[in-house]
Amino acid sequence: MPVPITPDELAAVKKLVDSLAAAYATRVVGQRALWWSLLAGLLADGHVLIESVPGLAKTTAARTLATLCGGTFSRIQCTPDLLPSDIVGTQVFNAARATFHTEIGPVNANFVLVDEINRANTKTQAAMLESMQERQITLAGQVHHLPKPFIVFATQNPIEQEGTYELPEAQLDRFLLKEVITYPAPAEELVIMEQAGGPLGRLDPVTSPDGIVQLQQLAQRVHVDRAVRDYVVRLVDATRNAARVAGPLGRYVEYGASPRASLAFQAAGRAVALLSGRDHMLPDDVKYLRYLVLRHRLILTYEAVADAIAPETVIDALFAATPAP
């Protein structure tokens, strides 16, 4: 049984999170939901898929978080001709010595931003699977473990479909959370304009990779009551029986979520609870995470697309039909 979290540990987490948030705000205006999703994914040791139109500071947010955590950062710009070796690395021949040596690719970093992942071809997308799931890569028969922490932030643009490859369900399921961000408010955009081109102060690390690993271990000690787990299981099971549970909207669900959704609710819920200064997870944490965990795991029918039914609409119906403890 996990050791209970002490008040001193909660106070230390709050101090660190406040420092991270204050430093983050010096680089990114607004985007509060994105900040919480990135931080929750980091503490839950999971990957985050971010969907938005271009120009909404996704790269800036990921790079800023990496700097504040003292970790290494790499950015992979996906294109249709990107090769798996461009991500994981390859064997390079040294003609002078007639030998091969291994050069590991940009995936070997604490924070990896895979920009416009749906522009990469399917073979290259598959190259990310081992690193995301196993936290390792294999080159020439040798296994290379990736650094800790290791988190992938992948972005995709929903408005351009030409030259893109839709992510398969198997890879979507490997993202702990999916965040969808929208345009900033007019007041926030005014601040962005005022700050554009101005001098930026020095951004120093607030913590270290080892500190993040300790936070991840602390999040695993957050208490999850049996009643909350039962609530999660009933919700995920409802996605598999949507026609019976969600009424007319249920017919739009072709396939429900896998057990990875239940695990994602628990892992991310623990992280959200810790970020909120609590040593226990609440049903409200599950409700807060409902879109982040389920929007990319529900497979809707073609009829849903034709009728412009968003996954969030179906998710709300499922939650409304499933009583909380």
Walking along the chain (325 residues) 10 residues at a time, the average pLDDT comes out as 87 94 88 90 95 85 93 92 86 70 85 90 83 85 88 85 72 91 88 78 88 95 96 95 88 91 96 95 96 93 89 93 90
User: Which pLDDT tens digit goes with each residue over 121-142?
Assistant: 888 888 887 788 889 888 777 8
Beta bridge partners of 76: 114
Closest C-alpha to 211, from 6, 9, 4: 9
- Written out in words, the top-level CATH class of the domain with range 222-320 is mainly alpha
Q: How far is 85 from 210, CA to CA, in rounded Å?
A: 29
Closest C-alpha to 219, from 96, 65, 40: 40
Q: How far is 128 from 106, CA to CA, in rounded Å?
A: 11
User: Which pLDDT tens digit goes with each residue over 222-236?
Assistant: 999 999 999 999 999
Domain 33-191 has CATH 3.40.50.300: yes
Which residue's structure tokens are 């990107």? 82
Alpha-carbon distances of 138 from 37, 121, 144, rounded to whole Å: 30, 20, 6
Q: How far is 146 from 31, CA to CA, in rounded Å?
A: 29
Alpha-carbon distances of 107 from 59, 85, 150, 165, 231, rounded to whole Å: 16, 10, 9, 20, 37
Helix (H, G, I), strand (E, B) or coil at 15: helix
Q: What is the pLDDT of residue 6?
A: 92
Q: How many CA within 13 A on the CB side of residue 89?
A: 23
Q: Where are the chain's structural domains?
A: 33-191, 222-320
Q: What is the pLDDT of residue 97?
A: 73
